[in-house]
Structure 1
Amino acid sequence: MNAAVNPGGLDALFRPRSIAVIGASDDPRKIGGRPIRYMLEAQSQVKVYPVNPTRPQVQGLTAYPTATAIPERVDQAIIAVPARQAEAAVADACAAGVRSIVMFSAGFAEAGEEGAAAQARMMKMIRDAGARLLGPNAMGSFNTAERIFSTFSTAMDRGTPAVGRVGMVSQSGAVGSYLQNLVISRGMAISKFVATGNEADVQAAECLEWMALDPDTDVLMLYMEGCRNGPALIRALRMARQMRKPVIVFKAGRTEAGQSVAASHTGALAGSVQVFDTVLREAGAWSCQTLTEMVDVAYACAQGRLPPDKTLAIVTVSGGVGVMSTDAAMEAGIELPPVSEATLAEIQKELPLAVGLNPVDTTAQTVGDRAMLTRAVERVLRDRPFGSAMLFFANAGRNARDMEILSEPLRALRAEFPLTQLALCVQTTPEYRKQLEDLGYLIFEDPVFCVKALAAAAELSAVRRRPLMLPELAKIALLTLAHSPDEAQSKEILARAGLRFARESVAATPDEAVAAAEAMGYPVVIKVLSAEIGHKSEVGGVALNLTNEDAVRAAFARVTDNAGRAVPEAEIRGVTVGQMITGGIQTIIGGHRDPTFGPIVMFGLGGIYTEVLKDTVLRTAPVTHETALEMIRSIRTFAILDGARGQERADLDAIADAIVSVSQFIATQGPEVESVEINPFIALSKGGCGVDALIHVRG
């Protein structure tokens, strides 16, 4: 078996040469007996040492009273004892010099403060010994190629799993075991599996990175409920992308209620779903909404043939399937380029009722001769290159005569179009399904699921072709602020970071406000100035379109009085007098420090749109100018910026420059700077400028 160079010291977890099972059971159905049974059934070459002080033998193997009594040093210890005995078992394993511990035992951090304290004590012993811990409360891991089964997963009850190329990482043992069965039932085979449990030490991201570097693994599946180490997950996803391995992710806890359940289940806090999705998308992973989708997408990737582009051909015997497949393709962002009229005419010579340029509906005319159907497919695929093709053959897979007729033409199609990912949407028997898969076809029963899986595979293929571009950090001075600055101070700081703002002056008195307005030129805007008042309009602290001295004096008194009554404890420095910007489109540009993933930059339409539509987009910071433009174009309301209904088109490059500057600012600051916001940034037809800014400092 090929050796891999892997980080994190996890070889002792996935590739131990000897294993002590502490709490070994002679009953092969019990948790302490299952890993022994699995490795015996698999005829594993790994040395297994049962540890049980009450038995001389366990399942035919010599047993030892303690791990330290084993006559040679062992790589790994599996701990399958009750929680009250776990600390002693860990001490025994550490004294025996193990390099990894797989702890099935539960009742620790997931069970409350007392359990968390016990978990912390065990971790200190393990770290002092220089070992790694999987768990506690972990289902374990396995390696099919080397027949190492450090797990009690009930999925093994169907027999020793075949050696495969799909790596699976799950934070939940039960979900992981369920996924194993779904994957195997779908016709795939697993290379490595791990369920991480409480993640007191080894975390899902580390396992994902290990598998990304594993030469025996081609496709990666990740089930997550929470993430403690965002940078580690980003590093793992980037490593998988660098190694050209598709990553399919299911993130549970997408609602506030779901996140609460996830936290109680794993002992981990679930991060912002939108930030999590952003990280996955940027790294090129596919985010799934259901376990079915997760398995379908992995299946579409596991064959090893990914679509060369996002074009799809659909040939069907049903007009209704053509309609629903088209809907699915449009929703998934996959293209349906039409074949030529000449090709359709050729098809119609044999099938006169055939209609459509893509989908091509052959109708029920092929029931009597299925060879006509494959000839239609051949003509479609010869018309122009397609990345994928979905062929809806209805119930043909259940008919022995149909399969006899289709077998050779399908083999010829596969040979003629080796780069196109071919999927058959057909009801069939397990035997015929296996035959078709062996020919190189993906098999689905639901056309919508088929199209979605092909679209995901096409996107994952596109990711493999795109280089990962990481911007360099700009040289921006690190702030050392004791408290959050007010608006004027925030603008001064951000201006040094490259942001443009409307002309503005600070005025402590009405006379100073009038002098500033006259020097600037009317009309002007007056806003109360206080670090304690972030949203000035909500307290009556803003006055717009002031056109003369009297209006300025009245506005000064009004906004400061309003703010003083609304926030009595606020320190008011006076007001800002600013240039009144007319026209343009209000946008919002912000940055914040996510507790899991670090610096994040945000863009969307500003003003009322921010709260009402919640149409914003996130990226990890910093971003390039190209990424900033992509952010702008990806909001749902981009048409407003792009000159909808005859309006002036906003200067997208000016907005992108501002996004880049904000992203560089939040990325270069220390953890004390929690967020920065420019709302609004007025996008003009030429250029743009911020008219309000806020920097929030921790504490």
Structure 2
Amino acid sequence: MFSDPRSVAVIGASANRAKWGYWLAAGALAGAHRRDVHLVNARGGDILGHACVTSLTAIDEAPELVALCVPGPMVGAVVDEALALGVKGFLGITAGIEDEPAIAARIRAAGARLVGGNSLGIFDAAGELDLSWGTFTPGSMAIVSQSGQLGSELARLGEQNGIGVSRFVSIGNQNDVTAAELLLDLAGHDDTRVVALYLESFDGGEAVFDALRALREAGKQTILLTVGSSAAGSRLARSHTGSLTAPVDVVDAVCRATGVLRAHSPAEVIDVARTVIAGAIPAGRNVVVVGDSGGQCGIAADRAGDYGLAVPALSAAASKDLEALLPAGAAISNPVDLAGAGEADLDNYVRAVASAIADPGVDAAVLTGYFGCYGADNPELMDTELGLAHRLAAAADAAGKPLYVHSMVATGPVADQLWASGVPTFGTVEPLLRALSGASVFAAPSRDLTAAEISAQFTGTGYWSARTTLSAAGVVFPDGAVVTDRDQAVAAADALTGPLVLKAAWLEHKSEHGGVVVGLVGSDTVGAAFDEMHGRLGDGDYVLEEMDVRPDGVEMLIGCQRHPDLGVTVTVGTGGVATEVYADVVMESAPVDVDTAAAMISRLKAHKLLAGWRGKPATDVRALAETVSAVARLAAENPDIAEIELNPVRVAPDGVVALDALIVTRL
């Protein structure tokens, strides 16, 4: 009913172009050849040659969709009148409606649905439905936006760059119909190839990303724009983990797992959307740069790293081909400088790109410089350059890899030819690299985040309970015992191998409260340490453990958090008492397999320490990855767990031992 209704009524239609009612009426009438259109204005009159009725009751049928554009105090009565007639769809334009949730509840109770309120409207090109402010150019990009005006900006930017809109929905306050429902509906929308999504909050976020996964499976890529203060960012603050991540980090983790690109600006959304529509999605991030200017080649190669792209050396075979083609002394490894060969023979642009892009070690090629200017500066060369543009696209097609062009003339016949042939063409190199990097996200496989719910056995609160649960999940801890008085502490000391550590098990941050003493040797020393700590902290469960004294260990942190709208995340990073100082962490959505955990660890600055630094032996990184995976799986599989933290986790050449742990359950 929100894309191709049989009939539409605009309540509050107006002949004043400065009012919402005019634009809704004009848009509705544009589809009058397809459906019945009813305009309602309390004073009657005529709008664009179409007579208005004074109330819904004057209409012979119950409109399938009603657009509400009346003052806030009138909305409730109009809705009740429409429901009495049997209306099943409402578009709420009016903002600031009193008792809006109650009105939405009445709509749902009647078996009807509401988009909005505070919506900027809806548009569907295939259904020829336009109930919005302004006009849209039909195309293949869908826009779903929590901010109506930002959605309109995306539509305008798209139009300026040759992209039309397949469907536009301003979701407004989401009092009924949700973003997740609208996104899921787009999975079967034939005219949509790419989705631009703007969200300010992630209520029901897991359903949103389930819908985005369905879109991806349907071959439709999503570009998300959001803000750092999203509701998804509400986090538990009891652990180090919570203080090390920003709200948007959680969104980023789910985006990576789902195969969604989070863009940083409307311009980036449009640049990547154009690239996706052109079909220029690279299989990876390795890029070869070819150009006719050493300076432009160098800048492109340098800036590529800023966008997460790599510029690897070309293979010997590719370099040999380029050496035979280019003047002596030309750069042929990557970047590739034509060194005047392009001006000498324009065909060399095609030959050089074809040789470079065919290298099996690269995923895409960037041609930077003067190409695209020849016909603009010398009209006699226009046809020649257009032919070369076609051949460049053919060379990329033959290699099965995308070609991107940075041209100093990025508009006009040559640029149009390149875009039409599936070659994204930009006037500056930064948006090109940003678009290429963004598009590469869509080639990476999404991860399955489903997890069977199991019931972990919690034996109580505090460290010993967490240790018991985590040990059952496969995490290794030192030998130890719970003690509650001096005699038990002394007896445990005789049974364990020193040096030993004494901990107040119930404290979450033990070092900050003097709740941990290390390096204890002998039962007398342990007894004295227990007396001193017990005298300060009082009764409770204390833990005596063997101290990990293995050489060449590195302290790490593993944490998990269950976020109210976006599920469970797992974090790994530099651990110990200076965790916040280093702020060296990587986050992903949980669960993660061992290979994904290993990839997380490889992104840390501390990875150099783990791999061996200045003659130190390498630590058991694989065992650390297995521990990260086990902890993430436990958190994801058990809905009662709100938070897990292991800090420190000591990684040495012969394995991993967790030295402290916290599990927080959901209230």
TM over 0.5: yes
In 1, distance between residues paired with 2:582 and 2:121?
Answer: 44
Residue 512 of structure 1 and its aligned partner are, at CA, apart by 1.6
Distance 1:68 1:598, change over 3 A: farther
Letter in structure 2 aligned against 1:449: P
2:519 corresponds to 1:519:
no
Residue 474 of structure 1 and its aligned partner are, at CA, apart by 6.3
Other-structure match for 1:528: 504
Distance 1:375 1:621, change over 3 A: closer
2:654 corresponds to 1:686:
yes
Q: Deviations over 1:128-164 (max 9, x none)?
A: 1112211111101111122211212x3x2xxx51x32
Conserved 8 A contact 1:297-1:457: yes
Other-structure match for 2:237: none
Other-structure match for 1:75: 64
In 2, distance between residues paired with 1:326 and 1:204?
Answer: 39
In 1, distance between residues paired with 2:447 and 2:468?
Answer: 34
Other-structure match for 2:213: 238
TM-score normalised over the length of structure 2: 0.90
Give 3-state SS (helix, strand or coil) of 1:645's partner: coil
Conserved 8 A contact 1:26-1:59: yes
2:321 corresponds to 1:346:
no
Residue 493 of structure 1 and its aligned partner are, at CA, apart by 3.0
Distance 1:225 1:561, change over 3 A: same
In 1, distance between residues paired with 2:167 and 2:229?
Answer: 27
Conserved 8 A contact 1:478-1:668: no
Give 3-state SS (helix, strand or coil) of 2:614's partner: helix
Distance 1:276 1:433, change over 3 A: same
Letter in structure 1 aligned against 2:164: A
Distance 1:143 1:397, change over 3 A: farther
Q: How does 1:64-463 map to 2 (within 5 A)?
A: 64-108=53-97, 115=98, 118-152=99-133, 154=134, 156=135, 160-161=136-137, 163-253=138-228, 272-337=247-312, 338=314, 340-348=318-326, 351=327, 354-363=330-339, 366-367=342-343, 370-381=346-357, 386-394=362-370, 395-396=373-374, 398-399=376-377, 400-418=379-397, 419-426=400-407, 427-460=409-442, 462-463=443-444
Give 3-state SS (helix, strand or coil) of 1:593's partner: strand
Q: Deviations over 1:536-575 (max 9, x none)?
A: 11111111111123321221122223435xxxxxxx3152
Letter in structure 1 aligned against 2:141: V
Other-structure match for 2:464: 488
Distance 1:683 1:26, change over 3 A: same
Aligned match for 2:478, one of 469, 477, 502: 502
Conserved 8 A contact 1:328-1:452: no
In 2, distance between residues paired with 1:487 and 1:409?
Answer: 69
Conserved 8 A contact 1:222-1:247: yes
Q: What is the root-mean-square deviation of aligned Cα atoms in Å?
A: 2.7
In 2, distance between residues paired with 1:379 and 1:660?
Answer: 42
Residue 453 of structure 1 and its aligned partner are, at CA, apart by 0.9
Distance 1:228 1:688, change over 3 A: same
In 1, distance between residues paired with 2:76 and 2:340?
Answer: 69
Gaps of 5+ in 2: 235-244
Q: Deviations over 1:225-256 (max 9, x none)?
A: 11111111121121122223221111123599
Letter in structure 2 aligned against 1:525: V
Report percent identity of matched pairs: 31
Letter in structure 1 aligned against 2:652: L
In 2, distance between residues paired with 1:416 and 1:313?
Answer: 14
Other-structure match for 2:602: 633
In 1, distance between residues paired with 2:484 and 2:259?
Answer: 52
Distance 1:384 1:651, change over 3 A: closer
In 2, distance between residues paired with 1:429 and 1:574?
Answer: 73
Other-structure match for 1:543: 517
In 1, distance between residues paired with 2:126 and 2:151?
Answer: 19
Conserved 8 A contact 1:679-1:692: yes
Other-structure match for 2:240: none
Residue 451 of structure 1 and its aligned partner are, at CA, apart by 1.8
Conserved 8 A contact 1:478-1:669: no
Residue 413 of structure 1 and its aligned partner are, at CA, apart by 2.7
Q: Deviations over 1:3-24 (max 9, x none)?
A: xxxxxxxxx1122221111111
In 1, distance between residues paired with 2:557 and 2:195?
Answer: 37
Residue 608 of structure 1 and its aligned partner are, at CA, apart by 3.4
Distance 1:494 1:416, change over 3 A: closer
Conserved 8 A contact 2:167-2:192: yes
Q: Deviations over 1:339-361 (max 9, x none)?
A: 6332222222xx55643422212
In 2, distance between residues paired with 1:417 and 1:431?
Answer: 20
In 2, distance between residues paired with 1:242 and 1:436?
Answer: 28
Conserved 8 A contact 1:126-1:132: yes
Conserved 8 A contact 1:586-1:605: yes
Letter in structure 2 aligned against 1:345: E
Distance 1:90 1:363, change over 3 A: farther
Letter in structure 2 aligned against 1:475: I
In 2, distance between residues paired with 1:276 and 1:176?
Answer: 20
TM-score normalised over the length of structure 1: 0.86
Letter in structure 2 aligned against 1:631: M
Letter in structure 1 aligned against 2:112: A
Other-structure match for 2:663: 695
Residue 29 of structure 1 and its aligned partner are, at CA, apart by 4.1
Conserved 8 A contact 2:30-2:130: no
Letter in structure 2 aligned against 1:438: A
Give 3-state SS (helix, strand or coil) of 1:14's partner: coil
Conserved 8 A contact 1:44-1:146: no
Q: After TM superposition, what 4+ stretches of structure 1 lie above 6 angstroms from structure 2?
A: none
Q: Deviations over 1:619-644 (max 9, x none)?
A: 33333233332332232322222223
Conserved 8 A contact 1:524-1:547: yes
